[in-house]
Amino acid sequence: MFNINHVAISVTNVEKSIEFYKKFGFKEFKSWKAEDESIKINMLKLNSTVLEIFCYK
């Protein structure tokens, strides 16, 4: 059987993207940002699928 484990996408607005994916049941479980805030990374999870959302400034 085929399962998706991890998908990474680049977005222009992390907060709006998180709210969008929460509507499908994803829950945020990890976040990280560079000290100079040049990149933000948020990890969301739904069952065994992990969605990595990242945004470059």
Q: What domains can be seen in the chain, in order of their start residue?
A: 6-56 (3.10.180.10)
**pLDDT class for 2, splitting at 50, 70, 90?**
confident
pLDDT digits (tens, 9 = 90+) for 16-50: 999 999 999 999 999 999 999 899 999 999 998 99
Pairing of strands 49-56, 6-10: parallel
Report the alpha-carbon distance of residue 10 to residue 40 in Å, rounded.
10
| Ranges of H-type helices in the chain | 14-22
Whole-number pLDDT of residue 3:
78
For 3-19, write each residue's pLDDT tens digit: 778 999 999 999 999 99
31 neighbors 17 (Cβ within 8 angstroms):
no
Place 52 in a pLDDT band, splitting at 50, 70 and 90: very high
